Structure 1
Amino acid sequence: MQQKSILVVDDEKGIRDTLEKSLKKENYNVLLAKDGHEGLDIINHDSVDVVLTDLKMPSLDGITFLKAVKQIDPDIEVVVMTGYGTIDSAVESLKAGAYDFIQKPFKKITIMRAVRKAVEKQSLITENKYLKRKLEELYGFKNIIGQSQGIRKIIEIIQQVAPSHAAVLIQGESGTGKEVIAHAIHYSGERRQKPFIKVSCAAIPETLLEAEIFGYERGAFTGAVAQKRGRFELAHGGSLFLDEIGEVSPFIQVKLLRVLQSGEFERLGGTETLKSNVRLIAATNANLQELIAQKKFREDLYYRLNVININIPPLRERKEDIPLLVAHFTDFFCKQNKKPIKGISEGAMELLKAHYWPGNIRELENAIARAVVLTKNDVLQPEDFPIAITKKEDPRSFVEIPFGMGMEDIEKLVIRETLKRTRGDKNMAAKLLGIASRTIYRKLKNDK
């Protein structure tokens, strides 16, 4: 762990020496200054985590010094010490940004406890900033991999819309990277320091979805033993990502429309009207205009969601991006599995380019992950990939149904076989079968 630096600012040499000795015993790096001007000079040239400063000093008093420190670096925690402690001076110090206020003479245990807590807070702030930077790196533009015209156009749209607060509708087949695009929009905009909350509308039973999105009050239904905040509340100030928005029931669509129009909603079982300031990003692999024609999706909600539209092309329509994606996933899984693979053979690359990719980028990612783990070569070869890829399987191949099989069993067979072709992707399977993904969960619920 990196040694923390403590700056002691006091015009009394005896105080400085005593604190230096005590702090060094606690393994802190100690810097000393006899007045505020010398202290500011040190802060401008050295790394300082916590400052211990006297309140009454010649030429530059403690409050003025404290304010100057916060202007230079707001993350530095300041503990104020004084022999002239009053409630007013303590309040003034805390208002100016001091972490703590300690009156002289103080016990060693008191000052060490204050320093330790200030260091812990400063470390937490530093860690949070680091994690936020990593999140921005992890979910920023660099994760949108490709050089095709379609991908370049999407990046251009994101750069334009990210600073705004407009609702965004992302459309594309399952596995094309809709969530990656949603993350990029959030972490490239003004809301990036605020929460990004996701709701998978297809994975949550319809009876629970309303409570999950809007929250509920205690006693709202059987099992609601305590109040729970919904996703709109959790995302306040940030972005709410509603994945598979086409699966939402007409009843919940009405409630979503109201939030989009007024920013107001009530928790389930509640009477208090709550306000929510969120950017709504929705995604779907369904054709919403077809659902509108079938009276399954509200046209007014569609227009509220579709302020900015991003349509992600399937992988089979941007095969020039496959080499870049393969390089990215190979590098990632090699590091994850500690395998020294140099690359991929020309023959294997040609197979990947020729494949239909019904599961899109997710299927490609899984194929690379499998190949990296199972290969015995230092270059990925055709035999390292699944048979469905090496045999160039036709994604439109048929399913054999034995004569006399019951209708319920036929449904399960077709669903299972379709899931095999989509590598277990229920959303993609549902689209191919023309049913809701929720139906797949229900049909196979008790299937062993």
Structure 2
Amino acid sequence: METSEGQTILIVDRDHDFLEWATKHLAADDLRILRCDQADKAIKVVEKTPIDVVISDMSIQPFDGLELLSRIKQVAPNTLVILTVGFPSTGQVIEATQHGAHDVMRKEALPFELRPVVESALQLAGERRDADQSNPEVQQQDSRVKIIGVSRALQDVFKVVGRVARSDAPVLVFGESGTGKELVAHAIHEYSPRRQQEFLAINCGAIPENLLESELFGHEKGAFTGAIAKRAGRFEQADGGTLFLDEIGDMPLSVQVKLLRVLQDGTFSRVGSNETQKADARIVAATNKNLADEVAAGNFREDLYYRLNVVEVRLPPLRDRPEDIPLLAEFFLQRITRKNGMARIKLSGEAVTALQAHHWPGNVRELENTIARACALASSNILLPTDIPLATAPGASLKSLAAAMDSLLDAMPAGRGHAWLNEKFAARVLERNDGDLKQAASALGVTTAEFRKNLR
């Protein structure tokens, strides 16, 4: 491990075997490693000794890792803190990030990830050694958002949420359909200073172009047919709060121009009015499209793209985080059975394996629907692989047919392709009809003689 000269690490954990392992795992020249088994002891060490990096278990005693993190930041703001936890929750990762944690790591992943993370932290600590930077005070958050997952990819998303939530910067969330983009928008709002105000969502692709402008900015009475009264738009309704613009890539160009004005100076006009309105709404937008490609194709304004994409969040598809599938499936099982007053249903180990092997083109939404179908059709309180109706991806049958045709074409002898294909097809139809010539001919709508001809 490469370290700056004279750097010090403090490892805090109740498990003495872990302390011993971590000490040997991280050992390096010019690196001093201290360790203790209680949080109050750790604070005394930090108060007396310059520490570059602290690695602490989240469930340390007599107070937890978040409290230890806060106290360390008060007495040694430049010390980097890495928290470890068995199964980190969404709230733990976001709150730890907001309180200034350098990283939050699953204990299960430490043998593979601890060393490179500590190396990176030591490098940063070396660069900060002479800097005087304090961590801003962050108000304790009580709200929770149900984003389920312990995968590294999802934890990285939580960390971005924890950092960006405190600002008013526009956020652009990228992700396939069904990955939970609106949940991320909710998390940004719930962990922000705006959490006491409105969170409003609008699907830009689900509203006709002639109505979308009115939905966003409102309209005056008589502005168009059916406008029988003045109406405030979503920007006015979300004043002081957060406005989530889903499927922003489907927003018409005519409305994009007006949205750009709001992002630039916070002003807009209702449809049918020349009066300028002001609104202070934090914008979080989401799309499953590649907006850079849409810009190149002329379908999306380049200036609006850069205005929206101040902070970028990319949600991983479910197939890239299979370790989250058992947790999500269990969460949906409990929610569905509780909602419907059903007896407790469990997943067998084989069922979990089948779920993890599935490609999940519909992502988390598809998994939720699959679990709901399995619960509705369950004949016992244990779900086996045969009880879980995994959907075939759209177009999969056509792809299979194309693959079969390619295989036939590769095997087709030169010079008699048409006759050979007819023969193969007729033989397969005859097989499907248990060798009954008359029934096979009837299935194809030809006479028995014509069918025999194809067989020959």
TM range (shorter): 0.5 to 0.7
1:240 equivalent to 2:251? Answer no
Unaligned runs of 5+ in 1: 1-134, 402-448
Tell me by how many angstroms 1:136 deviates: 6.9
1:212-361 alignment runs, 5 A limit? 212-361=215-364
1:370 to 345, 369, 373: 373
CA contact (8 A) 2:333 2:345 kept: no
Cα distance, 1:375–1:236 mapped onto 2, change above 3 Å? same
Deviations 1:263-304 (A, max 9, x none): 000000001100010100000001100000001101111111
Q: Provide TM-score, normalisation by structure 1.
A: 0.56
Structure 2 match to 1:444 = none
**Matched letter for residue 344 of structure 2:** I
Structure 2 match to 1:207 = 210
Tell me how far apart the structure 2 counterparts of residues 202 and 300 of structure 1 sit (CA, whole Å).
Answer: 20
Tell me by how many angstroms 1:396 deviates: 3.8
CA contact (8 A) 1:195 1:237 kept: yes
Structure 1 match to 2:26 = none
Structure 1 match to 2:182 = 179
Tell me by how many angstroms 1:244 deviates: 0.2
Q: Does the residue aligned with 1:301 lie in a helix, a strand or coil?
A: helix
Cα distance, 1:395–1:188 mapped onto 2, change above 3 Å? farther
The alignment yields a C-alpha RMSD, in angstroms, of 1.9
Deviations 1:419-448 (A, max 9, x none): xxxxxxxxxxxxxxxxxxxxxxxxxxxxxx
Q: Does the residue aligned with 2:370 lie in a helix, a strand or coil?
A: helix
Tell me by how many angstroms 1:394 deviates: 8.5
Cα distance, 1:190–1:216 mapped onto 2, change above 3 Å? same
Structure 2 match to 1:13 = none
Structure 1 match to 2:164 = 161
Q: Does the residue aligned with 2:163 lie in a helix, a strand or coil?
A: helix
Tell me by how many angstroms 1:388 deviates: 2.8
Q: Does the residue aligned with 2:196 lie in a helix, a strand or coil?
A: coil
Q: Does the residue aligned with 2:364 lie in a helix, a strand or coil?
A: helix
CA contact (8 A) 1:168 1:280 kept: yes
Tell me how far apart the structure 2 counterparts of residues 228 and 214 of structure 1 sit (CA, whole Å).
Answer: 9
Cα distance, 1:387–1:315 mapped onto 2, change above 3 Å? closer
Structure 1 match to 2:408 = none
1:50-65 alignment runs, 5 A limit? none
Tell me how far apart the structure 1 counterparts of residues 197 and 306 of structure 2 sit (CA, whole Å).
Answer: 26
Tell me how far apart the structure 2 counterparts of residues 269 and 394 of structure 1 sit (CA, whole Å).
Answer: 44
Tell me by how many angstroms 1:354 deviates: 0.9
Cα distance, 1:136–1:255 mapped onto 2, change above 3 Å? farther
1:124-203 alignment runs, 5 A limit? 137=143, 140-141=144-145, 143-203=146-206
Tell me by how many angstroms 1:250 deviates: 1.0
CA contact (8 A) 1:341 1:377 kept: no
> Which consecutive segments of 4 or more residues in structure 1 shift more than 4 A?
none
Tell me by how many angstroms 1:398 deviates: 1.0
Pick which of 373-382 and 238-247 moved more: 373-382
CA contact (8 A) 2:205 2:247 kept: yes
Structure 2 match to 1:100 = none
Tell me how far apart the structure 2 counterparts of residues 287 and 157 of structure 1 sit (CA, whole Å).
Answer: 20
CA contact (8 A) 2:337 2:345 kept: no
Deviations 1:214-252 (A, max 9, x none): 110011111111101101001000000000000011111
Q: Does the residue aligned with 1:265 lie in a helix, a strand or coil?
A: strand
Tell me how far apart the structure 1 counterparts of residues 311 and 157 of structure 2 sit (CA, whole Å).
Answer: 11
Structure 2 match to 1:398 = 398
Tell me how far apart the structure 1 counterparts of residues 265 and 253 of structure 2 sit (CA, whole Å).
Answer: 19
Tell me by how many angstroms 1:356 deviates: 0.8
Tell me how far apart the structure 1 counterparts of residues 142 and 231 of structure 2 sit (CA, whole Å).
Answer: 29
Tell me how far apart the structure 1 counterparts of residues 196 and 265 of structure 2 sit (CA, whole Å).
Answer: 24
